[in-house]
Amino acid sequence: MKFQIIAQRGAARAGLLELPHGTVETPAFMPVGTLATVKAVLPHELEELGARMILNNAFHLYLRPGTEVVEAAGGLHRFENWPRPILTDSGGFQVFSLAKLRKITDEGVHFKSPIDGSPHFFTPESVIAIEEKLGPDVAMVLDDVVRNPATYDEAAQAMRRSVSWAGRASAARTRADQAVFGIVQGGLHPELRIESAQATVDIGFDGYAIGGLSVGEKPEEMYPIVDVCCEVLPTAQPRYLMGVGTPRDLREAVARGVDMFDCVIPTRLARHSTAVTEAGNLNLLNARFKHDFGPLDPECECPTCRQYSRAYLHHLCKCGEILAPRLITYHNLYFYQALMRKLRQEIINEGCS
Amino acid sequence: MKFQIIAQRGAARAGLLELPHGTVETPAFMPVGTLATVKAVLPHELEELGARMILNNAFHLYLRPGTEVVEAAGGLHRFENWPRPILTDSGGFQVFSLAKLRKITDEGVHFKSPIDGSPHFFTPESVIAIEEKLGPDVAMVLDDVVRNPATYDEAAQAMRRSVSWAGRASAARTRADQAVFGIVQGGLHPELRIESAQATVDIGFDGYAIGGLSVGEKPEEMYPIVDVCCEVLPTAQPRYLMGVGTPRDLREAVARGVDMFDCVIPTRLARHSTAVTEAGNLNLLNARFKHDFGPLDPECECPTCRQYSRAYLHHLCKCGEILAPRLITYHNLYFYQALMRKLRQEIINEGCS
């Protein structure tokens, strides 16, 4: 993996992230493809709309179809027919969302499958082994995530466990062709974030993620934590803000020096009949769209906006037709990619290289 | 509308059906797009996989989004972004499937909307008026359909009512640019089919459909009825076997002189995880596909078969992912179109022109 910063504007950076399956222009938004599919969208459409890297989830894929199936298929890229870079989330966040179905110890996390109730045990080492079999370009370490707000002690305990696990994950690596990113935790406590960032950087990873945000706090609470983390993290390596966010969140975090993002917002909203537009979110189930023959987003150049009316999309949503999530997901992801291209171009045009 | 037969092989015909929105090579299979969308497939994909004419349903579109919405959008072609020929079913079959929600008289049919229970009244004239507003290339008359097997008296009453309604529909036409097809009824009673075909031809339509089949009877009961109808119907006009069928049904009916088909089988099976292949139907939920990394149908050239494994499709089906119906619908429709191209080519190659 190679990361090159080609322009800066204040704290914001425009870069090139070279990975085994291709180069990604940063800042970049990775569409979420939890189960080895970005819901409703085919790989060639993701390429068309400008996505260059997607996220899959090791936790979900370990459960279904099973790590060994993906490995036997020749890895994630071949399994899902996506030839470009892939990052796998470790599943830390998903495991810790299981509530009563899991029990954390310093050794790892015991959990029951939400699919069939079967018992499983994840350790930092076993998750790296899973990710090495899945074969993404970038693997995330297993971390211990707390909901915000968490008390200082809760956040400190989870953060220190995350650091310990990051060290074990790093030691467990066997694939030289796979990048691994560490994850900064510490809730909304700046001093814990600083401790976490320094300790994680001391272990040494190919890139660094900021985790545990957009999990209960307000944007105004999130942005200062992003600031604190970016101040401590090394400038020469990519920074990835996990699970964030709204178009506003992306603008604010790019300005603070974040290079990579993933979020379910554009794909999930689409499946709830909601389009992200310059003018804000539009719920297409709203009756006011029944006779609205204008484009979904007059500012947008995507095929959905060029070829279909709001009235048609309203009709599809009302009838529960599969074309509704298809067309709206395409638009929402196009909108996110166009936003990232615009932010990148602003850094290049107005910054210094 | 212009219909030209370019080759014949026994009773089978290869033709060209010229319509306001383009020319369709026959025999032709029309994918079903009930609510102004072929479920899970976009128009440009329908074109790619070889579809040249689709079916929409006047009954469903009258209820949702409403005839006036489609009319205000500029008609069906613009509303759903499909520039090629469209045929609208009248909704006769759908209305008569409503059971307790409808009451038929000689005047027309009173029914309650299955969406909201609101009362509606369809007549042969009102359905033609709806279809003229929707704007398909071909409109079907309202008919009275009975399930097979029906007694002679039931089938005779429904058939004679259908003939009477066909006459009223024909008299109600006002658009010279829209073709209208009459529909032959008469259940499984050959003498009623002959009476229906002769009476419907006496009224005079642009083409003739064979209705009331594949509604309860066995294939062995259906094919002789198709024979009887094709013997009476004029050779110079297109013949359309409504709502049929399996690949075998299509082969058998083409051999008997049918030119046009529609059926929900390829699209509906796909949404139930089932692929139509040369080797028969495959239910991709079956556990034997979990580790099957071969193509869905080794005989097929479609993108689904070229790019994805059975193991991946099995995984998508198990997880309820939208890509499952997308990829399988594409394959099934491609399979149907490839079959029609093959049957047509056989008539041209081995028949006489």
**Structure confidence by residue, pLDDT tens digits, A218-264:** 999 999 999 999 999 999 999 999 999 999 999 999 999 999 999 99
Q: Residue B16: phi, psi to the nearest 5?
A: -130, 120
Integer CA distances (angstroms), A337 to A29, A47, A48, A311, in order = 7, 11, 10, 25
Query: Domain A2-263 belongs to what architecture?
Result: Alpha-Beta Barrel (3.20)
pLDDT tens column, B175-225 = 999 999 999 999 999 999 999 999 999 999 999 999 999 999 999 999 999
CA distance A111 to A16: 38
B89 assigned to active site? yes
Q: pLDDT tens digit string along B308-319? A: 999 999 999 999
| Residue B348 phi, psi (nearest 5) | -70, -45
ipTM score: 0.98
Region A289-308: mean pLDDT is 97
> Are the C-beta atoms of residues B49 and B40 closer than 8 Å to each other?
no
Query: Is the Cα torsion angle B31, B36, B42, B48 positive or negative in sign?
Result: positive
Interface test with B, best of A45, A57, A288, A322 (most B CBs within 10 A): A322
Q: With bands split at pLDDT 50, 70 and 90, how would you rate the model's confidence at A137?
A: very high
Is residue A50 within 8 A of residue A337, CB to CB? The reply is: yes
Asked whether the bond before A50 is cis by omega within 30 degrees of 0, the reply is no
Does residue B352 register a pLDDT over 90? Answer: no
Q: Are the C-beta atoms of residues B260 and B238 closer than 8 Å to each other?
A: yes
Could you write out the DSSP letters of every residue in B72-131? HTTSHHHHHT--S-EEEE-SHHHHHTTGGGEEE-SS-EEEE-TTT--EEEE-HHHHHHHH
Find chain A residues with C-beta within 8 A of B330's C-beta: none
Do the Cβ atoms of A29 and A262 come closer than 8 Å? yes
**Residue B118, C-beta contacts closer than 8 angstroms, at least 6 positions apart:** B112
Residue A353 scores a pLDDT above 80: no
What pLDDT, on the 0 to 100 scale, is given for residue A92?
84
Average pLDDT, rounded, for chain B? 97
Q: Do B325 and A326 touch (CB under 8 A)?
A: no
Minimal C-alpha gap between B322 and chain A (Å): 5
Q: CA–CA separation, A351 vs A334, rounded Å? A: 25
Helix (H) or strand (E) holding B179: strand B179-184
What are the angstrom distances between the C-alpha of A289 and each of A13, A146, A303, A325? 40, 41, 19, 16
In sequence order, what are the beta bridge partners of B23?
B18
Instruction: Name the 3-class secondary structure at B204.
Output: coil
- Average pLDDT on B127-141 reads 98
Q: Domains of chain B: which residue ranges?
A: 2-262, 264-353
How crowded is residue A175: how many other Cβ atoms within 10 Å of its Cβ? 13
Q: How confident is the model at residue A153 (pLDDT cuts 50, 70, 90)?
A: very high
Residue A161 sits at the vertex; the CA angle it makes with A160 and A165, to the nearest 5 degrees, is: 120
Q: What is the helix, strand, coil percentage profile of chain B, to 5?
A: 45, 20, 35
Mean pLDDT of chain A: 97
Q: Cβ–Cβ of A35/B319 closer than 8 Å?
A: yes
pLDDT at B263 over 90: yes
Phi, psi for residue B132 in degrees, rounded to 5 = -70, -30
Per-residue model confidence (pLDDT) at position A229: 98
* pLDDT bracket for residue A20 (50, 70, 90): very high
Q: How many residues does chain A have?
A: 353
* Sign of the torsion formed by the C-alpha atoms of B326, B271, B337 and B32: negative
CA dist., res. A306 & res. A285, Å (int)? 20
Matching residue, tokens 């003018």: A279
In angstroms, the separation between the Cα of residue A294 and the nearest Cα of chain B is 10
Q: Distance between CA atoms of A344 and A14, rounded to whole angstroms?
A: 6
**Has residue B115 got a pLDDT over 80?**
yes
Chain B residues inside the 8 Å CB shell of A65: 290, 311, 314-315, 318
- If one looks up domain B2-262 in CATH, what number appears? 3.20.20.105
Encoded tokens for A46: 């993701």
The CA distance from A56 to B268, in Å, is 29
pLDDT (0 to 100) of residue B101: 87
H or E element that contains B7: strand B2-9
Whether the predicted pLDDT of B150 surpasses 80: yes
Three state DSSP letters for chain A:
CEEEEEEEECCEEEEEEEECCEEEEECEEECECCCCCCCCCCHHHHHHCCCCCEEEEHHHHHHHHHHHHHHHCCCHHHHHCCCCCEEEECCHHHHHCCHHHEEECCCCEEEECCCCCCEEEECHHHHHHHHHHHCCCEEECCCCCCCCCCCHHHHHHHHHHHHHHHHHHHHHCCCCCCEEEEEECCCCCHHHHHHHHHHHHHHCCCEEEECCCCCCCCHHHHHHHHHHHHHHCCCCCCEEECCCCCHHHHHHHHHCCCCEEECCHHHHHHHCCEEEECCEEEECCCHHHCCCCCECCCCCCCHHHHHCEHHHHHHHHHCCCCHHHHHHHHHHHHHHHHHHHHHHHHHHHHCEC
pLDDT of B259 strictly over 90 = yes
Q: At what angle do helices B323-350 and B310-318 cross, to 10 degrees?
A: 130
Radius of gyration of chain A (CA): 20
Q: Is the pLDDT of residue B269 over 80?
A: yes
Q: Check CB contact under 8 Å for A316 and B37.
A: yes
Q: Which residues of chain A does B320 touch, with a Cβ-Cβ cutoff of 8 Å?
A: none
Q: Contact B233/B201 with Cβ under 8 angstroms?
A: yes
| C-alpha distance from A273 to closest chain B C-alpha (Å) | 15
Looking at A89, A143, A144, A259, which residue is catalytic?
A89
This prediction's pTM = 0.98
With a CB cutoff of 8 Å and minimum separation 6, the contacts of B254 are B12, B27, B343, B347
Check pLDDT > 80 for residue B49: yes
Establish whether B137 is a catalytic residue: no
- CB-count burial class (<10 Å; 0-12, 13-18, 19+) for A131: buried
Residue to test with chain A: of B32, B38, B42, B310, most A Cβ within 10 A: B42
Q: pLDDT tens, B74-97?
A: 999 999 999 999 999 998 888 888
What is the per-residue pLDDT for A97? 85
Q: Which residues of B fall within a CB distance of 8 Å from A37?
A: 316, 321, 323
Least confident of A83-97, A333-347, B133-147: A83-97
C-alpha–C-alpha distance, residues A317 and A310, integer Å: 10
**Residues A104-113: what's their mean pLDDT?**
95
